[in-house]
């Protein structure tokens, strides 16, 4: 027998000897309603006793808005670091009564409109920008916050932007301080990463005039790039991330170069492999816990109609100095 009748608020009401309205008021702590502590307790008892869980569908249907925070995951590798952040974000939101749900898959497979129209989420997070029409449609449909984690500055939702620019800047800064005049930028091979790579590169450009070369994740082909940089007189490389940095290291090695004497390298992310590299990789990390907390606060504020808090990006990004640069 498939459906032993779901427990509804009516069941709770009956057991507590009150009306369904009262149950609703108690469970939602509806403001502007004064419920006597006695009934309140009785309702809570009954609900707990029955193992009652409200139907999200019914509530959403009624209120026109769900408690879901929908996060659109792009089809490119988002990395363990970001995955970690999403986990933290999820727990932080749960504490606020919001359900974090991630939907992976490129926009082509399923029009994103289909997804959010179906879910009617309280907020939608995305890594990439939405078109203005899309944003407009979502807001019109009652989505409280529509925000792109990356995307051009100055747009709505800019508050949440992970300061990618700062990452590149920190890399260049570190290399400059350690005496490197001519810098190179190791750009990722995967075109899907461009959205991250561009702002990072821009950050490095703000401090230096790096020679940009694309570095595939392959020792032999990375070696070609490294040879090119050497010919240019480049002595320090800002890599898009740790994996690209590892490729640069491998390329330098096949050329018989010594790191960091001949070529210094700095990555991004501090993946486990970074500290195990030869030599151990200097890199830039983001404080994922802090980032998640800030995202959560912003979302909760927006859903509640309050203004977003601000976060000093400086404390978010840190250089981990090891031996490669």
Partner DNA sequence: CTGTTAGCGCTTTCAT
Partner DNA sequence: ATGAAAGCGCTAACAG
User: Footprint of its own copies on this chain (CB under 8 A)?
Assistant: 1-4, 6, 51, 53-58, 60-61, 64, 66, 73, 75, 77-80, 83-84, 86-87, 90-91, 94-95, 99-106, 109-110, 113-115, 117-120, 140-142, 217-219, 242-243, 246-247, 249-250, 253, 271-273, 275-278, 280
Binding-site partner at residue 233 among DNA, its own copies, none, CB < 5 to 8 Å by type: none
Q: Which is nearer to DNA, 5 or 95 (CB)?
A: 5
The per-residue DSSP string of 187-225 comes to: EES-GGGHHHHHHHHHHHHTT--PEEEEE-SSHHHHHHH
Cβ at position 243, least distance to its own copies in Å: 5
Binding-site partner at residue 220 among DNA, its own copies, none, CB < 5 to 8 Å by type: none
Selection from 69, 80, 41, 110 nearest residue 271 by Cα:
80
By CB under 7 A, tell whether 305 contacts DNA: no
Selection from 109, 104, 100 nearest residue 76 by Cα:
104
Binding-site partner at residue 243 among DNA, its own copies, none, CB < 5 to 8 Å by type: its own copies
Distances (CA, A) of 57 to 8, 62, 71, 100, 282: 12, 9, 19, 16, 49
Selection from 161, 155, 215 nearest residue 184 by Cα:
215
Enumerate residues 32-71 that contact DNA by CB under 7 A. 33-36, 38-39, 52, 54-55, 58-59, 61-64
Q: What is the largest CA-CA distance in the chain?
A: 84
Q: Which is nearer to DNA, 19 or 106 (CB)?
A: 19
By CB under 7 A, tell whether 131 contacts DNA: no
Distances (CA, A) of 162 to 20, 147, 159, 181, 242: 45, 12, 9, 28, 18
Q: What's 181's DSSP letter? A: -
User: How many residues belong to the site for DNA (CB under 7 A)?
Assistant: 33
Q: Which span (22-30, 146-154, 182-190, 209-217) binds DNA, by CB under 7 A? A: 22-30
Binding-site partner at residue 128 among DNA, its own copies, none, CB < 5 to 8 Å by type: none
By CB under 7 A, tell whether 25 contacts DNA: yes
Give me 180's structure tokens. 């490197």
Selection from 194, 61, 184, 195 nearest residue 120 by Cα:
61
By CB under 7 A, tell whether 194 contacts DNA: no
Binding-site partner at residue 34 among its own copies, DNA, none, CB < 5 to 8 Å by type: DNA
Residues 234 and 209 sit within 8 Å (Cβ to Cβ): no
Using the structure block, give the residue that is written with the tokens 């808005």.
Answer: 65
Which residues are near DNA by CB under 7 A?
Answer: 5-6, 8-10, 13, 17-25, 27-28, 30, 33-36, 38-39, 52, 54-55, 58-59, 61-64
């Amino acid at each position: 027998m498939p459906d032993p009748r779901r427990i509804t608020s009516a069941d709770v009401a009956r057991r507590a000897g009150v009306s369904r309205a009262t149950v609703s008021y108690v469970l939602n702590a509806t403001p502007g309603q004064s419920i006597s502590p006695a009934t309140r307790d009785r309702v809570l008892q009954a609900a707990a006793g029955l193992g009652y869980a409200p139907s999200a569908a019914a509530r959403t249907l009624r209120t026109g808005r769900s408690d879901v925070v929908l996060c659109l995951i792009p089809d490119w590798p988002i990395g363990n670091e970001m995955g970690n952040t999403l986990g933290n974000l999820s727990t932080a939101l749960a504490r606020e009564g919001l359900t974090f749900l991630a939907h992976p898959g490129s926009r082509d497979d399923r029009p994103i409109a289909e997804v959010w129209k179906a879910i009617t989420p309280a907020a939608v997070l995305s890594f990439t920008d939405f078109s203005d029409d899309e944003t407009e449609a979502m807001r019109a449909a009652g989505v409280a916050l529509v925000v792109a984690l990356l995307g051009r500055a100055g747009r709505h939702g800019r508050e949440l932007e992970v300061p990618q620019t700062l990452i590149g800047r920190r890399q260049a800064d570190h290399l400059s301080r350690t005496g490197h005049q001519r810098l190179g930028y190791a750009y990722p091979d995967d075109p899907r990463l461009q959205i991250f790579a561009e702002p990072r590169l821009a950050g490095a450009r703000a401090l230096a005039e790096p020679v940009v070369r694309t570095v595939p994740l392959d020792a032999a082909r990375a070696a070609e790039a490294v040879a090119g940089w050497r010919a240019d007189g480049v002595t320090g490389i800002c890599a898009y991330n740790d994996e690209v940095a590892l490729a640069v290291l491998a390329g330098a090695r096949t050329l018989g170069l010594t790191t960091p004497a001949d070529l210094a390298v700095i990555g991004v992310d501090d993946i486990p492999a970074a500290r195990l590299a030869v030599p151990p990789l200097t890199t830039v990390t983001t404080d994922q816990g802090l980032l998640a907390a800030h995202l959560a606060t912003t979302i909760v504020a927006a859903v509640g109609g309050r203004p977003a808090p601000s976060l000093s990006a400086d404390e978010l990004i840190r250089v981990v100095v090891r031996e490669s640069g």
